[in-house]
Amino acid sequence: MAATRLFLRASPVKCSLTGLTGGVHSSLGLTLLKLSPACTAKPQAQRRHAAHFTYHPEPAPSQYGDLTSGFVRLTLAAVREILTHVSPAVIFGEDVAFGGVFRCTVGLRDKYGKDRVFNTPLCEQGIVGFGIGAAAAGATAIAEIQFADYIYPAFDQIVNEAAKYRYRSGNMFDCGKLTIRSPWGCVGHGSIYHSQCPEAFFTHCPGIKIVVPRGPVQAKGLLLSCIADQNPCIFFEPKILYRAAVEQVPTEAYQIPLSQAEVLQEGSDLTLVAWGTQVHVLREVAAMAQEKLGVSCELIDLQTILPWDTETVCKSVVKTGRLLISHEAPVTGGFAAEISSTVQEECFLNLEAPISRVCGYDTPFPHIFEPFYIPDKWKCFEAVKRMINY
């Protein structure tokens, strides 16, 4: 069983992250395709692209000196910064010593030694449990869960132990130096077990912080902030950006404050809120709305999911009177529901239309039907039109 899981986890890195060519469909897939008159049962090559958005590099911060590029490289640089200047600091997880399936820890074991960079058994509860113990003993512990989809076996350790460690001791001891990193979100061919966005499961748990960056600049700054924070943090890294996102990032250490949303584009007619990959989807939606409808959208990257920046979001909604929230996770119980509820309570008299949520469906994440599942720019654009015409 362990060998099967390892094979399944490793398989995505052997595939292209820029696109896929369809092959022979399963009998079930052919049956479903036949439901549409426009579809044919012939095993024709059907191109499907991994990225349902276009990544546009952001201006490089100039206040931190020299620049470099790449998402993976910057994640690696952030961890290297900690291992170099913080003692004791350790990073561990499945295949971490070998560089990890996404190459985010390449060369660290050779530089810092096997006592500080090491592999673990195929046991997520053991990885997080060890991290709690290491952090409680005073070490800066960076634990990697190979895919966010496999964080569930560690749910008890995160929710019942890490999040409550400080509270149950009356602040006499804690595991605030624990940071859990994990690749997150859809990638174009991840299917059921390599595409999930589980952040909402942990937002019901006081005592931890949850962060999702939208690009390389944010990945480095927010990760360093998580590691420095005196609370256990979960840092979800959009795996599709490992290869799709390339922009200039400072080589020096810097931190981006947690629990502060960023207004990426100011507008007057409608507020768009997202985090991680969906920020880039909504950036395209804002451009389409301006071009096709003459609608001015304000775009907000939440960045920290818990505790989230209610002030920035509510201030924007008071100005625009409309709110659209989008995330890849299923709509029921997704974090968009929490944002929607809070904004409704705080900004009810300012709303010009019902709050809209454009999210994943309440189904397991599909494979060949992923393009129909993801909340792409067309679904979000249709929601914008409905809200404007309400």
Is 345 assigned a catalytic role? Answer: no
Two structure tokens written together for 149: 């989809």
The pairing of strands 270-274 and 297-301 is parallel
Give the CA diameter of the chain.
Answer: 67
* Separation CA 63–CA 198 (nearest Å): 35
Alpha helices, DSSP H only, in the chain?
2-10, 27-34, 71-85, 108-112, 124-136, 155-156, 165-168, 199-202, 216-228, 241-244, 278-288, 310-320, 335-347, 370-373, 377-388
Burial pattern 286-325, b for ≥16 Cβ within 10 A else e, equals bebbeeebebebbbbbbbbbbebbbebbbbbbeebbbbbb
Which uninterrupted H or E stretch holds 237? Answer: strand 233-238
Round to whole Å and give the CA distance between 44 and 46.
6
367 belongs to the catalytic site: no
Set 81, 94, 124, 199: catalytic member: 124
In eight-state DSSP terms, residue 247 is -
Please pick, among 94, 161, 189, 194, the residue that the annotation labels catalytic: 194
**Nearest-5° angle of CA 27, CA 49, CA 304?**
115
Phi, psi of 210 (to 5 degrees): -125, 125
Nearest to 323 by CA among 288, 354, 361, 286: 354
Could you tell me how many helices (H) and strands (E) the chain has, helices first? 15, 16
Give the residue numbers marked as catalytic: 124, 194
